[in-house]
Amino acid sequence: MDALLNARREMRCIFTRSDPEIQKARWMTALSLGLANIAGAAITFAIGVLAFPSGAVTNRGLAILGFSTAGYLALTLVLGSVVALRIAATAEEVLTSQEPVPPAKLQEVLRNQWRHTQYCAIYWVGAAAMVGFLLAVVLQAEPILVFRGVLTVLLGGLTTCAIAFLLLERGMRPVVTRLREVLPEITACAPSVRARLLLAWGLGSGIPLLGIALTLVEQQGADHGRLFILLGLLTGAGILVGAYTSVLAAGSVADPLRALHRTMERVADGDLSATVPIQDSGEIGDLQLRFNRMTAGLREREQLRELFGRHVGTDVARYAVDNTNLGGEQRDVSVLFIDLRSSTALAETLPPVRLVAMLNDFFTTVVAAVESEGGWVNKFEGDAALCIFGAPVPQEDHAVHALRAARRLSNDLDELRRRHPDLDAGIGVAGGTVVAGNIGSAQRYEYTVIGDPVNVASRLCTLAKRAPGRVLVDSASVDAVGAEEQAKWESRGDVELRGRERPASVYAPVDTSRTPTAVS
């Protein structure tokens, strides 16, 4: 446990520099920032120029604005590329480091998309300040034109930064997936679903409608042709930007949810090994993370259930889940008891490894024979096994199944004796009414059966160790089956059982190779 905690505190070499995730993140960062800013600057400049009334700015002034904008764009692209590459290089050093990396540094890597967007916003604020200075000081334009120019640049910058952020988030998904796989407790740092939808609405509807409204108010009396072009440009830009941002925002929500849905279907079909890749560093990623934790809990529960079933039997495990109260109920069952002969001598003469191997083969044979007839192994007691037919799952013909299991066990043990010549066992079967249920205390109990048939089967097993064929059953079991099964058993007379006042009639499997003899 301590090693696991230490591994979570400090991770190392999450990626190599040749990993496709690193390559994709690097190129997506460069393309997202470059294309978004170039396209945003071009559209903003065109709208800004058309927004000026005819004659408000001279051709010389427009030239100054154009060259200044182009120069500032080139400068910020170079500066932005240097800053972006430095941020990316720092992130790569963290992700590919061979030395332990604290989780705090990994957290900073997830925040890189915010850092890129913040620098992008700074460049656009600088552009707005430059445009305002040129209009107010150099060109000495009217205050309303200065305000209009600054507002146009700021709205264009807001749109550009938002698009760049959505593109960066998409490009960072492979990195986010790997990081949250190795360190799930990383704090979410992406916008919420509500924020993404509001962002898509603002970029696709809010800003274009605001621009159109301001244009209609400010361009009263303007040239209709110029106004028509400006409104068309605003409308077209709004449609294109709105559609693109809506696709990005919808994809940032729908893609992870689609992956989650596919994984949920696999889990619903019983594949508890399915996990969903964590593709988001926000609340959707938290949802995916919690789903993976839920499936991990289901896997653990299924493993415990399977392990519990191996210890007590599948039917008993199911009964234990549905019934947790102490006590029991009367059941008509058949009990099969099987015990190794001369087990103490075997323990003294056989090497421990060989003894354990023989016991495992012995119990494997017992379980297979009993379960093939619908019974279950109630418990292993040293080198003996107590097997029940008719509880916890009722069996109307439990006696038939118990007798068939006894005969099969006798034959299977003959085969097993070829591998383990020292192996020999007695089998006893008895039927009757028992109390079956949870026996013990509230803190610890087990499902078992208590009653006279259990004692009789144990006594018959002891006698069977000395009897030919090594199998003895009581008369109640033989009387409870049909003629076909009865024909496979023959009487061995009456025997005295320890603890019982009257002798008991016993039967053994028919052996046509010898003459029946009474059990002594």
Residue 358 CA to residue 368 CA, distance in Å, equals 15
> What was the pLDDT predicted at 10?
45
Q: What is the DSSP string of 57-108?
A: S-HHHHHHHHHHHHHHHHHHHHHHHHHHHHHHHHHHHHHT-SS-B-HHHHHH
Distance CA 38, CA 324 (A): 70
Whether residue 1 has pLDDT greater than 50: no
The string of DSSP codes covering 431-479 is EEEEEEEEEE-SSSEEEEEESHHHHHHHHHHHHHTTSGGGEEEEHHHHH
Mean pLDDT value of segment 405-415: 93
Q: Among 27-31, 50-54, 123-127, 345-349, where is mean pLDDT lowest?
A: 50-54
Structure-model confidence comparison of residues 239 and 23, the more confident one: 239
The pLDDT of residue 512 is above 70: no
The pLDDT score that the predictor gives to residue 6 is: 41
**Residue 299 buriedness (CB in 10 A; 0-12 / 13-18 / 19+):** middle
Least confident of 104-108, 327-331, 359-363: 104-108
Give residue 401's pLDDT.
Answer: 96
What lies within 8 Å, CB to CB, of 251 at 6+ separation is 170
Q: What is the mean pLDDT of residues 85-111?
A: 71
Q: What does the pLDDT read at residue 437?
A: 80
Rounded-to-integer distance, Cα 262 and Cα 274, Å: 10
- The whole-number average pLDDT for the span 505-517 is 71
Of the two residues 35 and 464, the one the predictor is more confident about is: 464
**Distance between CA atoms of 38 and 29, rounded to whole angstroms?**
14
**Euclidean distance between CA atoms 58 and 419, whole angstroms:** 106
C-beta neighbour count of 408 within 10 angstroms: 16
Task: Label residue 8 by pLDDT band (50, 70, 90).
Answer: very low
HSE of 302 in the Cβ direction (CA atoms, 13 Å)?
11
- The CATH number fitting domain 326-509, selected from 3.30.360.10, 3.30.70.1230, 3.40.50.720, 3.30.1280.10: 3.30.70.1230
Residue 44's identity, in one-letter code, is T
Q: Give the model's pLDDT for residue 471.
A: 95
Average model confidence (pLDDT) across the chain: 77
- Predicted confidence (pLDDT) at residue 191 exceeds the cutoff of 70: no
Q: Tokens 């509880």 correspond to what residue? A: 391
**More confidently predicted of 235 and 287:** 287
Q: Residue 65: CB partners within 8 Å, gap ≥ 6?
A: 45, 48, 49, 57, 131, 134, 135, 139
Which two tokens mark 484?
């076909």
Eight-class DSSP state of 382: T
Which pLDDT score, from 0 to 100, does residue 3 have?
36
pLDDT above 50: residue 212: yes
> Ranked by mean pLDDT, which of 108-112, 161-165, 231-235, 393-397 comes out on top?
393-397
Q: List the domain boundaries for the chain.
A: 1-183, 326-509
Could you read off the pLDDT of 167-190 as tens digits, one per residue? 777 777 777 767 766 666 666 566
pLDDT of residue 430: 96
Whole-number pLDDT of residue 513: 47
Query: pLDDT for 423-474, tens place per residue?
Result: 999 999 999 999 988 777 767 777 788 999 999 999 999 999 999 889 999 9
Q: Which of 221-225, 359-363, 426-430 bottoms out in mean pLDDT, i.e. has the lowest?
A: 221-225
Q: Determine which of 83-97, 139-153, 280-294, 467-481 has the lowest per-residue pLDDT on average.
A: 83-97
CA–CA distance, 370 with 405 (Å, rounded to integer):
6
Percent pLDDT > 90 in the chain is 21
Residue pair 91/166 in contact (Cβ under 8 Å)? The answer is: no
CA distances for 70 relative to 32, 76, 157, 158, 320, angstroms:
19, 10, 15, 19, 77
Give residue for tokens 């080139």.
74
Of 65-79, 260-274, 448-462, where does mean pLDDT reach its minimum?
Answer: 65-79
Q: Residue 332: which of 447, 440, 453 has the closest Cα?
A: 453
The alpha carbon torsion through 493, 494, 498, 501 (nearest 10 deg) reads: 170
Q: Is residue 19 over pLDDT 50? A: yes
Tell me: pLDDT of 48 over 60: yes
- What local confidence, expressed as pLDDT, does residue 156 receive? 80
What CA–CA distances, in Å, run from 34 to 70, 95, 385? 14, 24, 76
Question: H or E element: which one contains 427?
Answer: strand 425-440
Q: Which long-range contacts (CB under 8 A, 24 or more apart) does 81-84 make?
A: 81/30, 81/33, 81/34, 83/119, 84/29, 84/30, 84/33, 84/116, 84/119
Average pLDDT over residues 109-118: 78
Q: What is the structure's pLDDT at 74?
A: 80
More confident residue, 405 or 178: 405
Give the type of residue at 278. I
Radius of gyration of the chain (CA): 41
